[in-house]
Structure 1
Amino acid sequence: MKKFIFFIILFFLIVSMLPEHTLNDFVMNHLTISGDGEEAIDDFYFSVLIIKVLISSVLSFTVTYLTGMFLKKKK
């Protein structure tokens, strides 16, 4: 249970600290957003949100896993 709570806390910390401007530039330069007007903006923001969630999940899982391994070796 402690690992899950640690993962959730890290996840929200990383999501809040990721630079939105960098992710917006990445989506604009590397992903094709189709649609017109409001639909395209919705797709753009959804793409940015998905990338933030993926990056945060991977980083949180990695830190949680490595911390668990480090604490087990220490005992």
Structure 2
Amino acid sequence: MSLARLTIEKKTVSIVLTIVFFIGGVKAFLDMPRLEDPEFTIKEALVVTNYSGATPSEVADEVTDVIICNNQ
């Protein structure tokens, strides 16, 4: 007897088993230790530079791009 035929003929049993497996899966998920999802920190920095008399494109080319390349 194939599994498909069995589930069609025994609808009540297959529905009950589906519900039991679903509830078991939800319970297992909720009981999962929190170490499975460790916390991590996001490191951020704000760098402020002064370049008097320079245009924005000069600052981007000569300062910002250099800082970004050196910190990646």
Alignment TM-score, normalising by the size of structure 1: 0.34
Between structures 1 and 2, the one with greater helix share: 1
- Structure index of larger Rg: 2
Alignment TM-score, normalising by the size of structure 2: 0.35
Q: Which has the higher contact order (CA 8 A, sep 6+)?
A: 1
